[in-house]
Amino acid sequence: MSMQNYNRESGNVFFYIFIGVALFAGLTMAVSQGGRVSSSNLTREQMQLRATEIIDYSDTISKAVGTLRLRGVTLANLRFATPSLNVADYGDTTAIDQVNLVFHPNGGSAIYRVAGGASVNTGNGPYEFVALNAVEGFGTTCATSACTDVLMVLGDVRADICRAINDYGDIGDATSALPVDSSFLMTGKFQGTISGASEVLGDEGTSAALAGKPYGCFTNTGDGLNYFYRVLWAR
């Protein structure tokens, strides 16, 4: 083989290698960009899935409370005590008649669980049960304890999941600003008694979209956190 032919063939090899590298780089970029689009769509789907998980779980607890009411359990006897929640806030399960317990096979048969860390901003979010608030236009609304609703609440919810929840609840769409309330109270864990004036959720212009809604998500200016609520016992 002459040196001239050798140089020509060597040049061709380098040319083909260069073309191969260029094609591989283009393919890698296309796959990478396609992966980003797919990941974006998956993320939106995950947000919707987590929103429906929160709503569906609140439905389960609402039905458990409804079951106990049909059996004749009064508001004064209803209890949310479970080993997963603070005894000082909700009572000791060993000292409460099992038929009055939402989270007991002999009562409401519901299973207590927390919201996953991907649904809240920090850690795993515990569901709480409070009785110091009323929802405007849901049940009887007033500023006294006689109108206080028993609510299931999840705090520090991610804003994007909050918006997805409100989209499902016809409160806003996935891009709407969250309703804002300045008076919501997380104190007053429910143990059968309700006392003190009720703070009304949905009676302000910034939170009016929540009026008459059995569940929703909003920002509480008191602590700057986003809250999901579900009415379990309207009064």
Q: In 3-state terms, what secondary structure has residue 39?
A: helix
Model pLDDT, residue 204: 86
CA distances from 98 to 5, 64, 94 (A): 94, 13, 8
Task: Using CB atoms within 10 Å of the CB of residue 42, give its burial: 0 to 12 exposed, 13 to 18 middle, 19+ buried.
Answer: exposed
**Helix 159-168 and helix 3-70, axial crossing angle in degrees, nearest 10:** 60
Please report whether residue 22 resides in a domain.
no
Please report whether residue 24 resides in a domain.
no
Model pLDDT, residue 110: 97
Q: How far apart are CA 235 and CA 219, in angstroms?
A: 24
Please report whether residue 33 resides in a domain.
no
Strand pairing of 215-220 and 225-233? Answer: antiparallel
Model pLDDT, residue 8: 53
What is the SS3 assignment for 126-156?
CEEEEEEEEECCCCCCCCCHHHCEEEEEEEC
Q: How far apart are CA 102 and CA 69, in angstroms?
A: 11
Please report whether residue 27 resides in a domain.
no
Model pLDDT, residue 173: 82
User: Which amino acid type is present at position 66?
Assistant: G
Give the count of domains, the chain: 1
User: Which amino acid type is present at position 112?
Assistant: Y
- Smallest CA-to-CA distance from 178 within 204, 201, 206 is with 206
Please report whether residue 54 resides in a domain.
yes
C-beta neighbour count of 78 within 10 angstroms: 22
pTM for the model stands at 0.79
Please report whether residue 8 resides in a domain.
no
- In the chain the beta strands, taken as DSSP E runs, fall at 127-135, 149-155, 180-181, 199-201, 215-220, 225-233
Model pLDDT, residue 184: 87
Residue 73: which domain range?
A: 44-233
Please report whether residue 3 resides in a domain.
no
Model pLDDT, residue 130: 95
Q: In 3-state terms, what secondary structure has residue 219?
A: strand
Q: How far apart are CA 79 and CA 66, in angstroms?
A: 13
- Smallest CA-to-CA distance from 156 within 201, 211, 116, 212 is with 116
| H runs (alpha helix) in 71-195 | 87-90, 159-168
Model pLDDT, residue 119: 86
Please report whether residue 6 resides in a domain.
no
Q: Could you read off the pLDDT tens digit of each residue along the chain, which spans 235 residues?
A: 554 554 555 555 444 555 554 545 444 444 344 333 332 333 778 888 899 999 999 999 999 999 999 999 999 999 999 999 999 999 999 999 999 999 999 999 999 999 977 788 877 789 999 999 999 988 787 777 888 999 999 999 999 999 999 999 999 887 889 999 988 888 889 999 887 778 888 888 999 999 999 999 999 998 899 999 999 998 8
